[in-house]
Each structure stands twice: as structure tokens, then as C-alpha cells.
A and B are shown apart, each in its own frame.
Chain A
């Protein structure tokens, strides 16, 4: 399919409208000098992905992304930012110096080229089948509890473990000890703590 053919489909315009801000947002996540801004740019990227899911007809996934990713994960991030007393506002030293950035940029660019190139050579301009229907949530529910019940259970275990782990990790020590140095504190096993 040529570019003009592609552009003649109206959904592709929608796609572009969603995708370009996403890319911009992602780019800003990794380059901004403001921590809070980074989190917010991530919201942009994630929101864009939700919209794309809607475009693809995966409604349940889209709304899950909004609820969980944007609603919980990003909020968590903001909490983390606050608790670690990251200096709010502009910060010049959020990224490494150029001696790290340039090789990293090279690597990521190479990665992009490789991935893109290989996929392009395989798929070329294949089109979606004409009918891109909307996936019913009930169907997804059926599938999860029929074919994917075990992964589902495992994931629930993982969540449980994360829950417990998070609580254990983050709670305060029962008997706070005087620490002379960071290394000594790290070396000595903390009483009762995991």
C-alpha cells in the first residue's frame, strides 16, 4: 500500500493524531529536566496508547490501561517522587553527561533501526483485514477463565507477593538503631527485617 492509499483511510488520520503526541510525550519523558513533568508526559503516552486500543477495538484493555496505568501507576510514581524528595522544578542533572548520552542514543537508535527494519522486511505493507470488530469484554472474560486461568492465578499470586513485599519493604524498622555509617548499616542485618 502506498502512502497515498494509506492516507486516504480516515482511521489513519486518527491514528496519526494519536500517535504523534505519543511519540512526543515519550521523547519528553526521557529528556525533560523536570521530574514531575516526566511523569505527566508519561500520562500522555499512556493515554495515547489507550486511545489506540480503542481504535483497534480492544475496549477492555483500553479502559484497564486508563484505570490501572494512569490511575494507579503514575500516581504511585508521583508519590515516589514526593517521598524521595526529588527537587521539584527544573533540575539540570537528571540525565548523565554527554559521554553516556551519546552512546546510549546510538544504541537506542540502532535498536530502533534494527527492529523497524526487520519488521518492515517481513510485513511490508500488510493491511488489517477489513473487519476490525470490537472485542466484547465478555469474550475476554470467558477466555481468561477458560484458557488462561492458570496464568491468571499466577498473576494474582504475583500481585499478592508484591503486596506483601511492598508492605514489608516499606515499613519502618521496629527498633531503629543508631547507624554510624551507611556501609555498616547496609552490612549489618537489620533486626527482624527481611
Chain B
């Protein structure tokens, strides 16, 4: 195996002190790291095996899927544990060369079109392996029970495993090309899974919407990747970071601003940033496990992950740092506006979807403010509690057979496990001490404040960060508010349906409990001043991020956030908890102007439909059709007519010329035959004449000419 590696040079990792431009070095990671290529490969292979053999296997493919996820979870846990608690700096990049177009440049960079399949084992990827593996494992276990009796059970697990493989390809990619490959893979898997119940037109439309919106954003991703790759001469992250670490004045520096913008546009699509967030709520048409894993915990975080992977690029003043204010603005908008929409949703999954969009906004704001660790930390904790919330919602939906909260109520009595885990998840999301969400949200707010004080760009940038901070705090209020609403309408009050809903089976509730544990404890990895494992872990990358990590709790921020959260809960409680019978009537947030705006999702979808979709569907499509029919078809038809016209003389030639020749030869043969037949009279005497005449001639000839 070692002989196939492109890079195996063992070099020392310089000090982890952020801010200094450390040497980008790679270490020899031992067996675990060198075998880490299995992490994406095992699920991908398993996905194919499930497609071909799943139906015949005893568990109908679930066993194979869970086996793959279990493997990834175990491996990811080990690697992440190493990153968290181990002291050796393990940054490893393995690669298997596929091909090479062009030659190696003079300073050792690989040639531009050097195709290789690689795997990175560093802090960031290990964290993602862990998240994808562990959360994925629990979701898969949950899904066995949730998807029981589903019309396409085996195919579901095949696509789901494919998704897991694609996500792992994405996070383990050592170069932009492979990252894009993984990016597209998860896009495909998302399409397949959102449209799982494609018999309903709505669902397949939602899948197409998700795919197309992502594709629009992917244009940015491609352009950005090409710009960076061409400037550096290589697509490898290590090479890019080397250039970045080497200071400004390079080709990359000249394009860095726009490349950064382009890449961020790509991230906007995948991570549902405003205004490209429109696909995520509709993606709830897919089965709940899909929503839990893909559209909460992992796939949507790919955009954040990309920014994180390229963070030195975004953190360096000579490069893309100048465009970070764009990220802050968009992140803030994303954080706030969709959160408001969540207040007027009846579908519980849609509430959670808008919540996800909002939380993704938090992560992006953090990244934009230069808080690498905060953004990733929130990604980490969010994965746990949001997946938990979705699975809980799925449990409720499963029991009530409806997505709408207006059909629920009072489920606390009937589904205790679901209720308590859901409550823990909501509290974590709302940022209640000492749950995980508190720590990660707090870190973001603290970083925003820090950025407001220390934003390296011109003073305008600092003001922006302060505005973002305010927005984030208000957003925390909104978050707690809508979650309280959701909990109240679902679990409190009286049950609106008929009969008695049953608690979900163990296979569904056990993962809920497991994720709840995560939702509680995950934040403890990075208690400011006490533990900094997470920071250390994600700092073990090629070029350490050099972001700010507070040495102590910022009490001002922590207090204000907690107060805001409690305020929201109290207000919500007042609004929705008492007087169970009239609860539903009071669930009308009908502030005159605001309500219609929220219900129609700020008319963004309508805007897209009227301005973009309808013109393309209508006039543009018609024009293209005309062109196709009249121009292209005319060419084709012209060729056809021309051939036909050509065929006529050829036919004539064939009939008269060739056939004439053949007929003439036949006639000639017949004529010769008729002539020769005159000698076959059947009369012996004539034969005798011929014999004697011939003899005479022969002898005469011999006498005259012979010897």
C-alpha cells in the first residue's frame, strides 16, 4: 500500500500556535490513518452491494447498511478520539494516483491535472467522520423501524448508504476535485431520497427543486474551484494552503476575492443560505430519517465544512478575508428571517427545517466573523440535537399519522420517551445551560463580539460584526420562541386526533435517547477555560486556523443569551401552554403585515417562480423549441431531402445502367445458348458429320502446321 502513496514524507508539524504561518507538513499517521481510505469506500461499496444483493439478504439490506455505518462510526470515533485526546499532531494525507495530465512543476507541486484519489486524516475530517458515523448509525437504527413496510425499503437503504459514502468522500477529500465529486454525490443521494415517495407529484417536484437550486449554486463552486486550481497550479488543499501560507503577491491573491465569493455561493446552495434556502423546507417531503441525517446533521453542513476547509484562504488578509463581510451579512439574514417563518408553520417538520436554516445561518455568521472553531463547534452540537429533534418528530408523526401540529397535542402522556428526548433537544437548541447548544451558541456570540472589537478590516467591518451580534441574540429569542410553540402544540394540551397514539418501538426510542445524551454532553468538549479539546482537535489541520478562542466564559454574552432564551420560553409558555382547549385558536400569530409575509415565506418562492421558472418554462422554452423545430430540424430534414434527391439518379442508374448490363449479359448468354442448341439436334448423322469434319480439319491442321 505504501508504494502507491504519492506523499509519504514524514515531516514535523510545527507549533499549533494560531496566527503564525506554520509550515504545511504531513505526518506519517500509522496504520489507522493509512487505512482510512476505507471510511468512504466501505459505504460506497456497500451501497452497490445493497442494490444488487439487498433484496435477497435476510434483513433486506438494512443489516448491510448498518454494518457499513457501524464501521464508519467506530473508525470515526477512534480517529476523533485521537484528535481530541491524543497529543500527537496527526495530519495525514494518503493518495492513490489515478492519472496525470501534464508534468510536475519545478517546485514540486503536482501538475494541474494530476488526478488522485486521496483521504485526509486531520482534525476537521476526523470530526466529520465521527459526526457522520455516529449520528448516521443512530439514524439508520431508527430507520429500520420507521421504514418498516415501506414500498422501497431496500432501495432506501441503498441510497442512504450511498449518501453516507458520498458525504465521507466529501469530507475526506484532499483536493477540490474530489470534494466536488463528493458534493455531487450527496446531491444525487439527496434527490433520490427526497423523491423517495415519488408517486406523489409534490415529492418529485421537491426533489427536483432541491437539485436545481443546488445546481445553480454549484456554478459558483465550480468557478471558484477552477479559479483557485488554475492560480495555484494544483487542486490539492495542501498545495493551496502552502501558497496561502507563503504570503501574498501570488497569482492566487489576485483572484482570491472573487474565488472566495464564488466558493461561498456554492456553499450557499448546499447550506441553504438566504436566498437559496428555499429547497430545504420542501425537502421535508422525504422520509424523516432522511431529514434527520441529511438535512439537519450532515449534508447541509457541507457548505460550512467547505469554508472551514478553506479557512486559511478566508482568513488571510492577502486572500479572501476581504469578502468575509458578505458571509456575515448573508449568514445574519439566514439566521433571522427563516426563523420567523418557523413561527407560522403547522407542519412540525417544516418548523424544524426552518430552524435548521436558521442554525446554518449561525454557523455561517461565525465563519464570516473569523470564528473557525465556533462555527464548527456549532455544526457538531447541532448535528446531535437537530437529528434528535427530527427523529422525535418522526416518532410523533409515526404515532399520529400526520405531520401537522394541529392534529397533535397532549402527546406527553402517551409518548413519554419521545417527549423527554424532544424536550432535551429543544432546550439544547434554545441554548439552555448546561446543554450542548448553550456552549456552541455562546461561543458564536462571543466570537461575534470579539470580531466586533477586533475586526481586522476597516471600521465598517467592526460595526457589521456588532450588528450581527445583535441579530444573533434576537435570533436566539426567536429560536426559543418557536421551539416552545412546537413543544406546546405537540406535547401539551389535549390530543386533537382520535384514539390513543402509541409510544414508538424500542428501535426508535433507543436512538432518541442516545442522541439526547449527545445533545447534553457534546458541548462539554469546549467549555471555555475548562476544556478546549474541540478547538485543539479541529485545529489540527494543514494550516492552523488562528482563530480566537476565549480563555474564559464571556459572562456578559452568556447571561444575555440565557436571559433572552428564558424570556422567549416564558412568553411562549404564556401564549400557548395554558387553557388547552383554546390553544389552537391562539396559535395565530396574526400581526397584520407580518403574518401574510411569513406564511408566504416572504414571497421568495413566488419570486423565483415568476421571474425565473415561468419565463424559462414559457417563452424561452418555446423559443428553444422553435429553434429546434425550424433550424435544427430543418438541417436534418434538408439532409434527408438531399439524400432522397440524390437517390433518384442513383436508382435510375441502378435500374437502367446496372440492371441493363446484367440483363444484357443474360441475354447474351441466352443467345449463345440458342445458337449452340442448333448443334444439339439429337440427330446422330449430324453428330457424325461434325465428328468427321472435325477429324479432317484436325488432321489437315496437323499435316500443314505440325511435324
Contact = CB atoms under 8 A, between A and B. Distances in A.
Direct contact of A and B (CB under 8 A): yes
17 contacts: A96-B685, A100-B685, A100-B689, A103-B689, A103-B693, A107-B689, A107-B692, A107-B693, A110-B696, A110-B700, A111-B695, A114-B696, A114-B699, A114-B700, A114-B703, A117-B703, A118-B703
Contact of B692 (A96, A111, A117): A111
Interface string B691-705: 011011001100100
A104 interface: yes
Contacts of B699: 114, 118
Contacts of A96: 685
B689 A111 contact: no
Nearest to A115: B699
A107 to B, nearest CB: 5
Interface in B411-466: none
Nearest to A117: B703
Interface string B674-700: 000000000001000100110110011
Given A100-B685, A107-B693, 13 more contacts: A96-B685, A103-B689, A104-B689, A108-B692, A110-B696, A110-B700, A111-B692, A111-B695, A111-B696, A114-B699, A114-B700, A114-B703, A118-B699
Nearest to B694: A107
Most chain A CB within a 10 A radius of its CB, from B685, B693, B696, B699: B696
A103 to B, nearest CB: 7
Majority-rule SS of A interface residues: helix
Interface string A35-69: 00000000000000000000000000000000000
Interface residues of B, number: 9
A100 to B, nearest CB: 8
Nearest to B699: A114
Contacts of A111: 692, 695-696
Contact of B696 (A107, A117, A118): A107
A90 to B, nearest CB: 23
Interface in A109-133: 110-111, 114, 117-118
A108 B695 CA distance: 11
Contacts of B695: 111
A9 B599 CA distance: 157
A96 B686 CA distance: 11
Interface residues of A, number: 11
Nearest to A108: B692
A111 to B, nearest CB: 6
A96 B683 CA distance: 13
Most chain B CB within a 10 A radius of its CB, from A96, A103, A111, A117: A111
A183 to B, nearest CB: 13
Nearest to A109: B696
A118 B695 CA distance: 14
A138 B347 CA distance: 144
Rank and list the top 4 A-B pairs by shortest CB-CB distance, nearest first: A110-B696, A107-B692, A107-B693, A114-B699
A160 to B, nearest CB: 27
A117 B692 CA distance: 17
B699 to A, nearest CB: 5
Interface string B513-531: 0000000000000000000
Contacts of B703: 114, 117-118
A96 B689 CA distance: 13
Contacts of A117: 703
Contacts of B692: 107-108, 111
Contacts of B693: 103, 107
Contacts of B685: 96, 100
Nearest to A96: B685
A121 to B, nearest CB: 9
A167 B689 CA distance: 32
A114 B699 CA distance: 8
A71 B226 CA distance: 126
Interface in B381-430: none
Contacts of B700: 110, 114
A96 to B, nearest CB: 8
A180 B703 CA distance: 55
Most chain B CB within a 10 A radius of its CB, from A100, A103, A107, A111: A107
Contacts of A103: 689, 693
B299 to A, nearest CB: 96
Contacts of A110: 696, 700
Contacts of A104: 689
Nearest to A121: B703
B678 to A, nearest CB: 14
A92 B703 CA distance: 39
A110 B700 CA distance: 9
A111 B695 CA distance: 9
A12 B696 CA distance: 31
A191 B196 CA distance: 91
Contacts of A100: 685, 689
Contacts of B689: 100, 103-104, 107
A103 B696 CA distance: 12
B694 to A, nearest CB: 10
B511 to A, nearest CB: 102
A187 B589 CA distance: 117
A108 B685 CA distance: 14
A181 B231 CA distance: 109
B157 to A, nearest CB: 86
A117 B685 CA distance: 26
Nearest to A110: B696
B687 to A, nearest CB: 13
Interface in B590-639: none
A19 to B, nearest CB: 24
A103 B692 CA distance: 11
